[in-house]
Amino acid sequence: MYIVFVRIQVLPEHVDAFVDATRDNHVHSLREPGCRRFDLLRAGDDPTRFALDEAYDDEAAFKAHQQTAHFFRWRELVAPMMAVPRVRDGFHSVLPA
């Protein structure tokens, strides 16, 4: 399994719009073949700090996700909402195997 963890800092005035834009991406991503999980997380100590926790069958499924219309739409919509550029880390699952 291939796991993607994205850290995101949103400008305070865009928090609600960011959640709405990400909801659309979440719904469509979960319909993709190979997408097992697409979670939006919010920090308990900072309502402008978010993370995406995504799981795919493999790295190829994630790369396919990056070519979808809903991903492009999300990326374009949320770009001006970011306080700093988002940071993405990719991992290969060890446990569970």
Q: What is the pLDDT of residues 15-39, one digit of tens each?
A: 999 999 999 999 999 999 999 999 9
Are 29 and 65 spatial neighbours (Cβ–Cβ below 8 Å)?
Answer: yes
- CATH number for the domain whose boundaries are 2-92: 3.30.70.100
In sequence order, what are the residues at sequence separation of 6 or more whose Cβ sits closer than 8 angstroms to the Cβ of residue 17? 77, 81
pLDDT attached to residue 85: 96
* For residue 79, pLDDT beyond 80: yes
Query: Can you give the residue ranges of every domain in the chain?
Result: 2-92
Tally of helices (H runs) and strands (E runs) in the chain? 3, 4
Distance of CA 83 to the CA centre of its chain: 16
